[in-house]
Structure 1
């Protein structure tokens, strides 16, 4: 079967790979000149397989009024009609039952993703700085720390401030600056953009893949209530099936197909600080209260954070970049940001934080999008699940929670 994959971010690229592995021919289409031009570019670099809880929760419901006020909140919102509609669904997802449902589904998909990434690398060696660095989450609030204590089956360890500082010598904090931490030894880091670039190169070498970059995607071509092609600025591209992995652009394309897809862009920021080969960090670190993550990469430290619900402008905010620099200087021994590379990306978020994976209301169009802030973590699992469902195989992990019909 010939399958058109719309989007060349990490989700689209891994989808293309798994479809070729399943024996399909693929045409990969993206408006950008190269891969990972959107949210996959300079993301937080953490592969957080155990940290998949949704944004929507009873606790978040209590915090919402304050997020609408001006200030340096980790989350910012500017109301627009699209966000209002999305937000009503978000409010419905702020229940303990929905949190439990989403967390269970995401943990299963994350574990599948970890295994599938390992399987991919066994076939195609890719060097993107992957290593099991372990993840330390530090808490500045006693209530947040108490709520984050792992259950009996969770492999994470609870640490005192003194134990956190002993584990991660790069932390330039005093014991009085925070109340404790949670450490998960199995978590990984890796450069998503480097992964995408090398996987893209491998796909281009395949005789089963046709690459159509610099190709603006327009409306679907529908015949007899089935999508048979897509209009582009280089003519119509036809295929037997299409997969929608356009990130924050997925909603607009779905609308042109005649159905609503509640995916809203959540803007995140990052800076990448070059070093002399010796990162100040040994582990990846998350400052839970400030919603900032720090990841050691080869020759650099990635510092990323924030969640801004403010439309489709992907231009880095000078104020947000300044916040990242200030937080980093306060947390680690980083005293020079001369060569720091600012970046911003729009993460495609669903109201319940679960991806949308499965057939769409339009025959011939399959969905694999809406991974939100976990796109890098969940990409390989989402791609495997997509390939299984398209081929009518028993899915490698439960798929019902990701069906678009839940909306």
Structure 2
């Protein structure tokens, strides 16, 4: 049986591996000449298995007016009267209900646990090198009110995820690279088991392994134009290099997935969230960042990485709703520069490797994993800001469902038509 993977980012590549490993003939199609060129290229680098709270929540709903009106807000709308955004936003508001949030967190935690297990298996079996390490994650809170809410969540969860509540002084003692005073923090939540890793390096290493398999075919530098249907079934995709026929297709096109779904005749609630990152090498005198940091007030993440054999820091965040605009906004990059200076005392100058990408977000932040209304088309897309974290687990679920095996975790929370 031949399965065509549409998209060669981290979701597409992991899906391709799981299906090729199961014995299927796999063909990987992507518009770029190499893999991991879109949202997988320079994401936040955090593998966040315990912190999977959705963007849609009662807290976000309360802050929405100020978030959208502030010039330096981590979230901004510049898409105008985009019908796709209006439809997505209506569903986003419904996803802010407490019950919906609880369902999302439970589902994402289960998928994240599976993803961690699968990533470990791939890393060990294939001997992949991409800077994976258990750095631990410190989430710092500046607001006393928000810190109390976070503490209640930790207490309610018990010790399941090994989270520790730290005072401001304990946060600064844990991470000496933080250049903050104790009175600038309310406290923090630390999870020692959280990991970091370079997603682009992972994709490059996995690409090498995929190229070594005889049952994997590559069609890169091949723009996907649209579907070819026959008798209510997807039988091929039309590309800039002709038609590609297969028995099944898996949609892993990230932010472009919605447009492909529309061409197939159904609605996929995915909208691009434009994110930014910079990757910088601290000066020799700077203290090396030991742990992954999330600044909740600014919705920014800081991850220690290796770059060209030297210590580096990836600073990422921002969620702009700008349709498919890929313009690199200097003002948004400046937000990340200032954050580097304030939190880490690093004055980012020339070599900062600025980047922006479109993260495929669903209204409730859960990915869509399952069969589409069009026969022959499977969906594995919509991972939003957790694509790197959830990729390997999503690939495992996709392979299990296509093989008609019993999935490793419940799949109904990720269906296109969510369970009632």
Higher mean C-alpha deviation, range 202-211 or range 72-81: 72-81
In the alignment, structure 1 residue 6 sits paired with structure 2 residue 13 = no
Deviations 1:240-290 (A, max 9, x none): 000000000000000000000010000110000024788720001111101
2-side partners of 1:179 and 1:219: how far apart?
51
Task: State the aligned residue count.
Answer: 407
1:281-320 equivalent positions in 2, closer than 5 A: 281-298=289-306, 299=310, 300-320=312-332
2:62 corresponds to: 62
CA contact (8 A) 1:8 1:36 kept: yes
1:80-99 equivalent positions in 2, closer than 5 A: 80-99=82-101
In the alignment, structure 1 residue 20 sits paired with structure 2 residue 20 = yes
Q: What RMSD over aligned residues (CA atoms) do the two structures have, in Å?
A: 1.3
Q: SS state of the match for residue 256, structure 1?
A: helix
Q: SS state of the match for residue 69, structure 2?
A: coil
CA contact (8 A) 2:36 2:203 kept: yes
Q: SS state of the match for residue 388, structure 2?
A: helix
Residue 137 (structure 2) aligned to one of 129, 135, 138: 135
CA contact (8 A) 2:41 2:200 kept: yes
1:361-380 equivalent positions in 2, closer than 5 A: 361-380=373-392
Deviation (angstroms), 1:13: 0.4
Change (3 A) 1:196 1:276: farther
Higher mean C-alpha deviation, range 374-383 or range 143-152: 143-152
CA contact (8 A) 2:250 2:378 kept: yes
Higher mean C-alpha deviation, range 67-76 or range 131-140: 67-76
Deviation (angstroms), 1:147: 1.2
1:94-173 equivalent positions in 2, closer than 5 A: 94-149=96-151, 150-151=154-155, 152-153=158-159, 154-173=161-180
In the alignment, structure 1 residue 280 sits paired with structure 2 residue 291 = no
Deviation (angstroms), 1:121: 1.2
Residue 251 (structure 2) aligned to one of 244, 253, 257: 244
CA contact (8 A) 1:280 1:332 kept: no
1:317-396 equivalent positions in 2, closer than 5 A: 317-396=329-408
Change (3 A) 1:70 1:179: closer
Deviations 1:326-374 (A, max 9, x none): 1110111313432111000100000111000000000000000000000
Structure 2 regions of 5+ residues with no counterpart? Answer: none
1:74 corresponds to: 74
CA contact (8 A) 2:283 2:346 kept: no
Structure 1 regions of 5+ residues with no counterpart? Answer: none
Deviation (angstroms), 1:138: 0.5
Q: SS state of the match for residue 354, structure 2?
A: strand
Higher mean C-alpha deviation, range 174-183 or range 272-281: 272-281
Q: SS state of the match for residue 145, structure 1?
A: helix
Change (3 A) 1:34 1:279: farther
